[in-house]
């Protein structure tokens, strides 16, 4: 067994997806200890991803669950420090921009463990977003910063971060390439929902800025209701909670479904006529799959997708949602922004040299 120990902190479904290819690349050189904070804790948002992608089960499950940002992050810090003092890893690895990301990085910094941040350097430049605060703080306490794009490198340089910075490509591209073939074989989601390629739009809504504002959430649902196509909307627990609290209903063209696994999600994305989302990861996957994306935000960390003409920002404006769906279509070929699908191998090679 390798004598170098790397601890990986995950807590939300995008992190499970990103961690899978990196874990495969690390296994020959590191003993990886997987720590699940429990930020996403129900089966549809957590366990199913480990099962589908044949990932090792977490060595530690902290069971933090929900709560406001400060409460959730504080609980994670307490429990993570206990684990890190027990296992004493050589490196701590974090992904993206969730509360689990920041808590992992802070816990490691406080216990003098070098932090490696995958998906470093992304910026929306909207400091009202909790994700923006999480990613900025994590970058500034990380020793190794693995950037998915050239833009991310430039963002870090603007903040004076140049040491330990690497352009490795995007691990989510690695995950997509590995899993899409499996998804095509294993997923029967189109059959189960009785839909066919290009006959529906796919929507996701989960960011607090949209779900926790009644007028914004209602406007988004009104925009989806105005589309002359079936809309498949896998319902995030937060979105479901707020819709129930405010008694918001949906039009008959919108099919609300439970949260789904990664394979089902890939197939729904690949075959949609349009994707409407406030998710950063889904925006990028839409680009990689060649599906036009309408982003339900006023800014994005994936600026390349907008500049390339495959992503358009409409916020929570119902009229813009409808107008963009009807009138806006990509007019250019997709540029290869996110590497060649070998980001995980590059990251593992760099970490092995420490």
Helical spans, DSSP H, in the chain: 13-26, 47-52, 69-87, 99-110, 130-140, 150-158, 171-186, 189-193, 208-211, 214-225, 237-245, 262-271, 280-289, 303-307, 318-327, 343-352
Distance CA 41, CA 220 (A): 26
User: How many CB atoms are closer than 10 A to CB 172?
Assistant: 24
How far is Cα 22 from Cα 352, in angstroms, rounded to an integer?
A: 13
Active-site residue, from 36, 117, 206, 236: 206
The total of other beta-carbon atoms located within 10 Å of residue 184's CB is: 12
CA–CA gap between residue 128 and residue 126 (Å, rounded): 5
Number of other residues whose CB lies within 10 A of the CB of residue 276? 27
3-state secondary structure of 236: coil
**Has 206 been annotated as catalytic?**
yes
Catalytic residue set: 206
């Amino acid at each position: 067994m390798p004598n170098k120990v790397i601890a990986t902190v995950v807590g939300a479904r995008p992190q499970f997806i990103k961690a899978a290819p990196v874990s495969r690349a690390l296994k020959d050189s590191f003993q990886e200890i997987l720590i699940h904070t429990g930020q996403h804790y129900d089966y549809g948002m957590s366990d199913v991803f480990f099962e589908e992608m044949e990932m090792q089960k977490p060595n530690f499950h902290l069971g933090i669950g929900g709560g406001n940002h400060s409460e959730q992050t504080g609980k994670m810090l307490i429990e993570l420090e206990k684990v890190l003092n027990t296992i004493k890893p050589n490196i701590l690895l974090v992904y993206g921009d969730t509360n689990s990301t920041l808590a992992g990085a802070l816990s490691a910094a406080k216990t003098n463990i070098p932090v490696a941040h995958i998906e470093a350097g992304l910026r929306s430049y909207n400091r009202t977003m909790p994700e923006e605060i999480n990613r900025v703080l994590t970058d500034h306490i990380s020793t190794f910063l693995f950037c998915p794009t050239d833009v991310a490198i430039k963002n870090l340089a603007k903040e004076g971060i140049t040491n330990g910075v690497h352009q490795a490509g995007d691990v989510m591209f690695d995950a997509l390439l590995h899993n899409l073939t499996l998804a095509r074989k294993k997923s029967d989601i189109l059959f189960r929902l009785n839909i066919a390629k290009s006959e529906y739009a796919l929507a996701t809504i989960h960011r607090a800025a949209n779900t926790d504002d009644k007028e914004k959430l209602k406007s988004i649902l009104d925009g989806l209701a105005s589309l002359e196509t079936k809309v498949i909307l896998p319902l995030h627990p937060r979105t479901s909670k707020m819709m129930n609290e405010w008694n918001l209903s949906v039009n008959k063209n919108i099919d609300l479904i439970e949260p789904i696994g990664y394979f089902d999600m890939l197939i729904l994305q690949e075959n949609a006529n349009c994707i409407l989302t406030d998710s950063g990861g889904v925006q990028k996957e839409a680009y990689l799959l060649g599906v036009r994306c309408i982003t339900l935000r006023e800014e994005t960390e994936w600026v390349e997708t907008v500049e390339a003409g495959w992503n358009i920002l409409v916020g929570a404006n119902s009229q813009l949602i409808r107008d963009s769906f009807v009138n806006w279509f990509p007019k250019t070929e997709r540029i290869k922004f996110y590497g060649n699908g070998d980001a995980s191998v590059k990251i593992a090679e760099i970490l092995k040299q420490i």
